[in-house]
Amino acid sequence: MDQIMQVFPAFLLVFCRISSFFVVAPVFSTRTFPKTIKIGLAFFISLIVFLNVGFDTKVTADSTYILAVIREVFAGLLIGYVAYIFFTIVQVAGGLMDMQMGFGIANIVDPISGVSAPMMGNLKYMLMTLVFLSVNGHHYLLAAIMDSYKWLPLDNKLFQIYYGGNITEFLTRTFSDTFLLALQISAPIVVAMFVTDFGLALLARTAPQYNVFVIGMPLKILVGLALLVLLLPGFGTLFQILFDHMFEALEKLFTILKSSS
């Protein structure tokens, strides 16, 4: 029992980082992922990580231990959040598409996240999740959180790194890059809808007898769906490019944490 109590504080720190990572990480944080499996997976991964790195650092349950727990929770949330924002790209792109196609008034409840989501965004999110699982992206995520202890060990100085401002700058730049990627993904349909609106405006000027408000909405939906069918075969390659950007961002984050510690 004495030996267990000596290693338990270090194991608890590892478990806090791994479990907080699962709270926000893509795929693992979805409502369809059973909580029992989520907790069990976090426990066994924490046990594996602890057997590798837990004995290298002596952790004592003193007055600063609560701060160490909060620090590890922040570390797990930070890593999971950086991975998650790349999955929100398709949601933002789908929202922009729906706004132009006329589907913006028909938002549906996403069964994965449990919130109201655009129809095109929900479709792309499910396709992106399937592609992510097919390329074993969840294995790379688990490897990333397990290897994070090489860059950010248990005795890290994460609060000082936060205070330095490098992480805030990185998150701001990453968020702007993801928003730019969402605009680029939605650009074909958004531009096509703009051209369709321009054509309908010319029709309303040249032939006022046509009710543009009546024929405009079905026409925009028809053009948008036709263009979406043409773009669907390239979504697999597009999602893999997004995954490459996601893992590059995680690598940059670990580099910042390593250089600042």
Phi, psi angles (nearest 5°) of residue 116: -70, 130
Q: Residue 91 in contact with residue 117, Cβ under 8 Å?
A: yes
Q: Residue 112 in contact with residue 126, Cβ under 8 Å?
A: yes
3-state secondary structure of 117: strand
How would residue 243 be classed by pLDDT, with cut points 50, 70 and 90? confident
How would residue 225 be classed by pLDDT, with cut points 50, 70 and 90? confident
pTM over 0.85: no
Question: Residue 101 and residue 110: Cα distance in Å, rounded?
Answer: 19
User: Residues with Cβ < 8 Å from 66, sequence gap 6 or more?
Assistant: none
pLDDT surpassing 60 at residue 202: yes
pLDDT of residue 10: 80
pLDDT of residue 53: 74
Residue-wise pLDDT tens digits, 58-114: 666 677 788 888 888 888 898 889 988 988 888 888 888 877 777 766 666 655 555
Lookup: tokens for 185 = 């993904």
pLDDT of residue 106: 61
Task: Report the chain's mean pLDDT, rounded to a whole number.
Answer: 81
Beta carbons within 10 angstroms of residue 63's beta carbon: 7
Residue listed under structure tokens 């939906």: 221
Question: Residue 40 and residue 33: Cα distance in Å, rounded?
Answer: 12
pLDDT of residue 240: 85
Phi, psi angles (nearest 5°) of residue 135: -95, 15
